[in-house]
Amino acid sequence: MGAEEEFLLADPVSRAVSAEADNVVAEASGELGDRVGTELTRYQVEVRTDPHTSLADFAEQVRSTRTAVVQAADRRGLRVASSGTPVLGQASPPPLTAGPRYARSAAMFRALDDEQSVCACHIHVGIPDLATALQVSNHLRPWIPVLIALTGNSPYWAGRDTGYASWRRTALGRWPVAGPPPYFESTAHFEDLVAAFIATGSVMDRGGLYWDIRPSHHVPTLEFRAADATATPGETVLLAGLIRAMTATALQAITAGEAIFQPGPEMLRAACWRAARDGLAGQGIDLSTGRLSPAVDQVDQLLAWAQPALKEHGDAELVSTLWSRVRAAGDGADRQRAAYRRRARRTDVVDHLISTFTASG
């Protein structure tokens, strides 16, 4: 397993987003090499872990990588925050990173790029062949809303409380190929869809498939993309450990020939919207019943379903501890709003994000 994390740079005085990503990436590359890079906007820095089989080793690299980015930003007089959307500053239209790919994206997608100063946490799990990856995707589609609720960390958009736990998720829903992936009947079905998207200009290439779960276009992994950027390293570790266990559980189900639960695409989409709106604090749509139930109970159900795989990998205790912390403190959106309520200052929200960026919780 491995992770890609996207972060926002902030000015230490105004706390607004800062368009200095090129400089910070250059500063951090001395220690991180090609594990740090730019993103679509100059507000964002992206980091990557190496592949890991040990969740403890993965956790150590997540924390050390974040520390390296903080130190690089500090040398440039800046701060780093991990939120799905900018809390303060002119988020739209953002200053775009130079380069032919980003220029092509702006030409193709126009104002859609104006709201792409958003940050995610992508978890990769190694799966060697496309056919198996698509079967795992089919098995895990119904859990996407639960992952969205667990990781909601983008309630603000440029100074405004959107009322959502994950506004990033909502903004991404405007793209032509985004949200829950289809149920794939075969590899040919997948390849035909991708070819049609490219031929019609709906995506630039395979890297433009913004589904919540997708086969990676450049490494032999299945990539999980539903999560907002996580406020703390511990939440990234929780997400990675859980997703690896979910994948292992799905693989066992495939081997056993178990039937795949196929929620209707309309209800799956509605469940994702509800999860993005209310996060852990609210109720989500239970796709097995079509009724509402507390989001925290749905996370507990997911953990129970994946528990044998968590135990097999030796991750059960760590994942349980990390989930207990999130359940007690609330998701990232809850914590951002709590920081604001203390003095009704948006700058306090940014300070909270800065202070928890390398925290263990």
Does the structure show a pLDDT above 90 at 119? Answer: yes
Split into its structural domains, the chain has a count of 1
Q: For residue 272, what are the CA distances in angstroms to 88, 145, 227?
A: 26, 5, 11
Angle value at C-alpha 130, between 129 and 136, nearest 5 degrees: 95
pLDDT of residue 276: 98
**What's at 175, amino acid-wise?**
W
Residue 356 in domain: no
pLDDT of residue 115: 83
Which range in 137-141, 173-177, 216-220 is most confidently predicted, on average pLDDT? Answer: 137-141
Does the structure show a pLDDT above 70 at 308? Answer: yes
SS (H, E, C) 135-196: HHHHHHHHHHHHHHHHHCCECEECCEECCCCEHHHHHHCCCCCEECCCCCCCHHHHHHHHHH
Does the structure show a pLDDT above 90 at 90? Answer: no
- Show the domain range for 299: 2-348
pLDDT of residue 77: 98
Whether 12 and 87 have beta carbons less than 8 Å apart is answered as: no
What is the mean predicted confidence (pLDDT) over 133-137? 98
Q: For residue 11, what are the CA distances in angstroms to 18, 79, 88, 205, 347?
A: 6, 6, 10, 34, 11
59-69 pLDDT, tens digit per residue, is: 999 999 999 99
More confident call, 255 vs 114: 255
What is the mean predicted confidence (pLDDT) over 313-335? 98
Residue 354 in domain: no
Q: What is the CATH number of the domain that holds 301?
A: 3.30.590.20
Count Cβ neighbours within 10 Å for each residue of 188-199 and write b for 16 or more, e otherwise. eebeebbeebee
Residue 353 in domain: no
For every residue of 234-271, DSSP letters joined together read HHHHHHHHHHHHHHHHHHHHHHHTPPPP---HHHHHHH
- Quick one: pLDDT band at residue 197, thresholds 50, 70, 90? very high
Q: Which residues pair with 161 in a beta bridge?
A: 156
SS (H, E, C) 316-354: HHHHHHHHHHHHHHCCHHHHHHHHHHHHCCHHHHHHHHH
162-190 pLDDT, tens digit per residue, is: 999 999 999 999 999 999 999 999 999 99
Q: Are strands 120-126 and 221-228 parallel, antiparallel or unpaired?
A: antiparallel
Sign of the C-alpha dihedral computed for residues 268, 269, 270 and 273 taken in this order: positive
Residue 355 in domain: no
**Measured between alpha carbons, how far is 341 from 213 in angstroms, rounded to an integer?**
35
Residue 175 in domain: yes
- Quick one: pLDDT band at residue 97, thresholds 50, 70, 90? confident
What is the mean predicted confidence (pLDDT) over 80-106? 90
- pTM of the entire structure? 0.97
- Quick one: pLDDT band at residue 103, thresholds 50, 70, 90? confident
**What's at 150, amino acid-wise?**
L
Does the structure show a pLDDT above 60 at 48? Answer: yes
What is the mean predicted confidence (pLDDT) over 332-356? 98
What is the mean predicted confidence (pLDDT) over 137-158? 97
Pick from 208, 199, 22, 229: which is nearest to 101 by CA? 208
pLDDT of residue 268: 98
Does the structure show a pLDDT above 60 at 256? Answer: yes
Residue 310 in domain: yes
Q: What backbone torsions phi and psi does residue 230 show, to the nearest 5 degrees?
A: -85, 140
- Quick one: pLDDT band at residue 128, thresholds 50, 70, 90? confident
Does the structure show a pLDDT above 60 at 83? Answer: yes
Whether 151 and 121 have beta carbons less than 8 Å apart is answered as: yes
Does the structure show a pLDDT above 90 at 347? Answer: yes
Residue 359 in domain: no
Residue 340, both tokens: 């604001």
**Measured between alpha carbons, how far is 272 from 112 in angstroms, rounded to an integer?**
20
Q: What backbone torsions phi and psi does residue 10 show, to the nearest 5 degrees?
A: -130, 145
pLDDT of residue 361: 55
**Measured between alpha carbons, how far is 244 from 235 in angstroms, rounded to an integer?**
14
199-208 pLDDT, tens digit per residue, is: 999 999 998 9
Count of CB atoms situated within 10 Å of the CB of 29: 15
Residue pointed to by tokens 């359940």? 327
Residue 100 in domain: yes
SS (H, E, C) 20-49: CHHHHHHHHHHHHHHHEEECCECCEEEEEC
